[in-house]
Structure 1
């Protein structure tokens, strides 16, 4: 696939690296000369400019791109990127941060294919969204970590808490959530936990056990 990444910060760098390692073609856009130089040194084709403008995106030849990701720290810029990319038939991925309300999420989600919270899943999530896959990101996770899906039991002390605010051990991440019988997705900022929910967790094996215990009411901090 040919992928265009707008924003070569922490998330953009790692996403570009993962895509490149998997054999995909990557073009980077950033308006910071230092980041442009860093991308050049990493071996990527780079365009220096404001990725939210049609003029800059025209240089990326979006008609030949399969997917475009707005991964800057500014969701408005990212949305502008995706809006233009949609006009060229590209798959679109937009980065927002956890503090956004569900209303804002819904506003953005109507105009893009995927929304990612890098704080929840990182570059693996952005890569998966770009390629249009599910949330099976095991290939991107160090061998020291385990991935599993946990079910929230009736009576769990976690019921009513926001997924993104759930107390989990350091290094553990809840990277996807789904209601009983529904597909799993990256949780919305205000998604509250209900009995029967599925939580996909990445963590060291011992930490997974801690998360399971907390969902069942044991060892609650």
Structure 2
């Protein structure tokens, strides 16, 4: 896939890296020259400019892109990026930076393919790390989905599996991985699960017990 990542801050940089690790082509769009230089030093093709400008996105290759994500800290820019992406039949992902009311969130969600809120997931992961525990349901993110964590036991059936091979159902996904006492972060596709690892998962709330049984045996 050809993917455009608009904004090379903490979220955008990590997202670009993970996508590239999976073998996809990534173009970064960034307004700050120093940040753009860092992205180039990491090997990315970079276009310097405002991602909400259609001309800048055309320079980044939006006409042949499969997906585009707005990951800046400016929600208006991210929304504009996605609206332009829709015009070119791209899959669109929009980052939000605050916990909007449900009607505002729904308005964004109706206009783009996916809305992500990394700060909320990050805060939840930090809370879990502080509380500890083998399997801790820490926050209902929607009426049907729940963010949970699991610490992998020595005899867990997933020991030795790649994180991207673990089946959590149609809507489940692994959001973060931690080893030893290191902070949790987005797992790379090649990450292999080891005993003692911590995984942050988003799963159907009704399937929490089933997921625990599947992962821990």
TM-score by length of 1: 0.60
Tell whether 2:213 aligns with 1:176.
no
- Give the secondary-structure state (helix, strand or coil) at the position aligned to 1:110: helix
- 1:55 Cα shift? 1.6
Do the aligned residues in 1 keep the contact of 2:85 with 2:92 (CA within 8 Å)? yes
Q: Distance in 2 between matches of 1:7 and 1:179?
A: 33
Q: How many angstroms does 1:145 deviate by? A: 3.2
Q: CA contact under 8 A between 2:91 and 2:113: conserved in structure 1? A: yes
**Offset at 1:179?**
5.3
Aligned length: 153
Rounded to whole Å, the distance in 2 between the matches of 1:52 and 1:198 is 40
**Alignment deviations for residues 31-65 of structure 1 (CA, whole Å, 9 cap, x no partner):** 01111000010000000000011121111221211
* Deviation for aligned residue 1:134: 4.6
Query: In the superposition, relative to structure 1, how do residues 2 and 142 fare at CA in structure 2: closer, same or farther (>3 Å)?
Result: same
Q: CA deviation at 1:69?
A: 0.4
Cα RMSD for the two superposed structures: 3.1
1:14 counterpart residue number: 14
Instruction: Provide the TM-score with structure 2 as the length reference.
Output: 0.61
* Residue 146 in structure 1 maps to residue 198 in structure 2: yes
Q: Measure, in 2, the Cα distance between the counterparts of 1:22 and 1:42.
A: 16
CA positional deviation for 1:121? 4.0
Q: Name segments (4+ residues, structure 1) moved above 6 Å.
A: none
Unpaired runs of 5+ residues, structure 2, are 123-163, 165-169, 178-186, 212-217
